[in-house]
Amino acid sequence: MKILLTHTYFIEEDAHEQKVMKPYPPLGLLYLTAWLRENDVEVEVFDSTFSSFDKLISRLEAEPPPILGIHCNLLTKYNVMKLIRYCNQHNIIALLGGPDASTQVEEFLRYGADIIISGEGEDALISVLQRLEEADKHSLQDIPNVSYKTADGEVVQNPRQASKRHLDHYPAPARDAIDLELYLNAWETHHGQRSVSLITARGCAFTCKWCSHSVYGWTHRRRKPESVVREIQDIVETYRPTHLWFADDVFTVNKRWLLKFRDIMNEAGLRLPFECISRADRLDEELVEVLKELGCYRIWFGAESGSQRILDAMSRGVTREQVSKATGWCKKHGIQSGYFIMFGYPGEEIRDIYETIEFVRDEQPDIYLTTVAYPLRGTTLYDEIQDKIIYAKQWDNHLQRELEIKERFTRPLYQFAIKKLASEYRRKQLRAQREQHLKQIYHSLRSVYCDYKIKQLADART
């Protein structure tokens, strides 16, 4: 039985990404495609990134598939809902997967989805397709990780079961199933690089309370370094990249693995600039040197907060001092450091916000990104504060990132905190350069104004 896979992310609808223009293909769908091919399933991918919803509908109208597999994440919910309605009207089975579908099973099924696969999709999807060859969509009992509706409309959620399959048993993602040159050309046009993403592992066993484990659970499985190097060789030969993105949750979990990976890369004569995500507690100076030798030019850290009290509340398992040390090693060995910063975590007070601003200002990472915390279904944070989440709209009219939390400050205060951080960070840079005095004055004044607004808004809570 043929299946069409899509992910409903359209860059034309994402104003922020149009400015950044660092798109990457849907690796999860490409892994699924390779697995389906290996199991003799006829599969096609409609890669929506550089397309449009209308073109996706035109493809469905031209050759309606019996099954449409839809990846659903935090950003794509509304497009997924539109596709579900289309499938319902045209006798197409709407099969959902991905983090949002895995944590909102009943809602999506009640809305009209036919089948939801939670967790990793490879084995469950094969089982579903085999069952649909001999039975209808209401007869999916006993397939782990699958949810569906009976003929009477009752929602059934089969037990979930973590995958134990070694990652090297899966084929490499089927990059030939999409036009990867569209991504490479976008990178080359806007950044002078040709960048390709890959993973060396699935899952994360760390305990950050706000982080979703809805797909891989609390597991971490890693490919053999020989397998990763073979994939990189194929990528280099086929796509001529000048840059790699290791999309693992934490690239530096296993030091022995990384040392062996370095040796095999050196034997193969491979060295490409790349960036990755790490944790400050999973780095030492030797590893930073190894990463530099491999070609790493930027490491991203979940610094999150400059307040140790908030870091502990998040169950980060990392200290301010560890982040500071890791940043220092990066500077010493010529690797850029990038911080992820989160404001608005439940329990955060004004003093914690200022500790974060001062920490980022003083550490001077090369780049940082900010967000305001939101409660994702299936996370420990969500479970802890469920009675404090504000649902201003019905399920089908809000995204999870739009949810507010009782008893924390209002969004305008966090926006002024972000602006103050930007001015403090930039002002220190300018002072170190001993130039652009007018800009220093501007950022000093803006910082003071943000202080005034933060103080003014500090008494307001959601």
pLDDT exceeds cutoff 90 at 41: yes
Per-residue confidence at 182, pLDDT binned at 50, 70, 90?
Answer: very high
pLDDT score, position 140: 97
Report the C-alpha gap between 278 and 276 in whole angstroms: 7
Report the C-alpha gap between 364 and 328 in whole angstroms: 10
Identify which of 45, 71, 39, 38 has the alpha carbon closest to the alpha carbon of residue 59.
45
pLDDT exceeds cutoff 80 at 151: yes
pLDDT tens across 65-99, in order? 999 999 999 899 999 999 999 999 999 999 999 99
Identify which of 78, 151, 67, 83 has the alpha carbon closest to the alpha carbon of residue 117.
67
Per-residue confidence at 217, pLDDT binned at 50, 70, 90?
Answer: confident
Residue 43's Cα: distance from chain center in Å?
25
pLDDT exceeds cutoff 80 at 192: yes
**Residue 434 CB coordination number (10 Å):** 8
Share of the chain above pLDDT 90, in %: 93
Report the C-alpha gap between 370 and 372 in whole angstroms: 7
pLDDT score, position 253: 95
pLDDT exceeds cutoff 80 at 206: yes
pLDDT score, position 419: 98
Report the C-alpha gap between 431 and 280 in whole angstroms: 28
pLDDT exceeds cutoff 80 at 434: no
pLDDT score, position 122: 95
Looking at the DSSP bridge assignments, the partners of residue 116 are 96, 147
Residue 257's Cα: distance from chain center in Å?
23
**Domain annotation for the chain: domains and CATH numbers:** 3-151 (3.40.50.2300), 193-373 (3.20.20.70)
Q: What is the mean pLDDT of the chain?
A: 96
pLDDT tens across 340-387, in order? 999 999 999 999 999 999 999 999 999 999 999 999 999 999 999 999
pLDDT score, position 437: 84
pLDDT score, position 436: 77
pLDDT score, position 403: 94
pLDDT tens across 266-284, in order? 999 999 999 999 999 999 9
Give the pLDDT mean for 221-246.
98
Per-residue confidence at 215, pLDDT binned at 50, 70, 90?
Answer: confident
CB neighbours of 243 closer than 8 A, spacing ≥ 6? 187, 193, 194, 195, 196, 272, 273, 274
Identify which of 275, 268, 205 has the alpha carbon closest to the alpha carbon of residue 246.
275
DSSP string over 303-325: EE-S-HHHHHHTT----HHHHHH
pLDDT exceeds cutoff 80 at 421: yes
pLDDT score, position 164: 84
Share of the chain above pLDDT 70, in %: 100
pLDDT exceeds cutoff 90 at 252: yes
pTM over 0.85: yes
pLDDT score, position 462: 86
Residue 149's Cα: distance from chain center in Å?
29
Query: Helix %, strand %, coil % for the chain, to 5?
Result: 50, 15, 35
φ/ψ of 315, rounded to 5, equals 60, 45
The one-letter code for the residue type at 391 is Y
